[in-house]
Structure 1
């Protein structure tokens, strides 16, 4: 039975040092899944037990090693971080499952997402004008199977709205430059925390 979505805690309510809780939790979950010893975690703060949705990104030597996540909050944020950390390490279909030897070599980033909202756009020019580069994460849906998202950090390599959406369309399996019938866009914001590069 699928859990009903819940309203996530407001991003601004998260403490600035939330990464001190979320990043070790992600690393411990990956270590446990791969049989790598990890330090015990302390009692989680109340905010980490509120519903939350996140994406977990792994990089190795500056290159993407995996990225998966949740768009709708349906479990405690801390649990969402732990589940998505393991899914990113072992189940991102673009990469081979991570090995125990890689655990100390990857850098973990956790992005906590706000609830998404519909973007008022019925054409690509309207979407270009409505998007906020550097701020909005974007979800595109068209039909039953074509769906994809880009986190706000994807504006860094793709700063122009037209180019950003062209790549998002391709990720969703849509022909770029065409507003397909039934296309829906939603946007969200995110706050991110990242480990310092180098072995943990």
Structure 2
């Protein structure tokens, strides 16, 4: 999905309004008026919040199951108030809040015979990766390559995020890749 600059600006404003609504009313913005047609299509997004260049929250959806506008509004609220790594956002933080939205493509399976095969298939800086093994599940957006530029490190940290040892490998592991259109 390629969004127009107007639709990107509209989604960024929607994300901010949903966070403000959360501060005032304790929940995400649910009544969204005048949604552009392109944003009524099902879409998956992640909303990443930063203050002073430090992560402040990140929540998202891997699969598109609701209109993109609704997904962004809910994920913006979630990033501000439901990311368990952080205390809920406070009103004083709002002026310094930087919002980044990542709209995801549909995930596609990565077929790998072993870890080395998987590492050779990953495209640093472009692939977002979803790992699943039973109840263990985690994802890294493509932006994470900026902090973990080596496929080996990227995968090791993704396993740890999923609650698995960094050197874990099993035939029950499943991987998917996706790309994002990000804007802030």
Q: Please indicate the TM-score interval, normalised by the length of the shorter structure.
A: over 0.9
Could you tell me which residue of structure 2 aligns to residue 29 of structure 1? 18
Q: Is the 8 A contact 2:7 2:36 kept in 1?
A: no
Could you tell me which residue of structure 2 aligns to residue 156 of structure 1? 146
Determine which of 64, 70, 78 is the counterpart of 1:79: 70
CA separation in 1, counterparts of 2:78 and 2:168?
32
Q: Deviations over 1:24-70 (max 9, x none)?
A: 0000000011029xxxx872211111100000000000000000100
Could you tell me which residue of structure 1 aligns to residue 84 of structure 2? 93
Could you tell me which residue of structure 2 aligns to residue 48 of structure 1? 39
Q: Is the 8 A contact 1:124 1:178 kept in 2?
A: no
CA RMSD, aligned part only? 1.4
Q: Give structure 1 stretches of 5+ with no counterpart.
A: 1-10, 195-200
How high is the TM-score relative to the length of structure 2? 0.92
Q: Is the 8 A contact 1:137 1:149 kept in 2?
A: yes
How high is the TM-score relative to the length of structure 1? 0.85
Matched, 1:20 2:9: yes
Please identify runs of 4+ aligned residues in structure 1 that moved more than 6 A: none
Q: Is the 8 A contact 1:35 1:100 kept in 2?
A: no
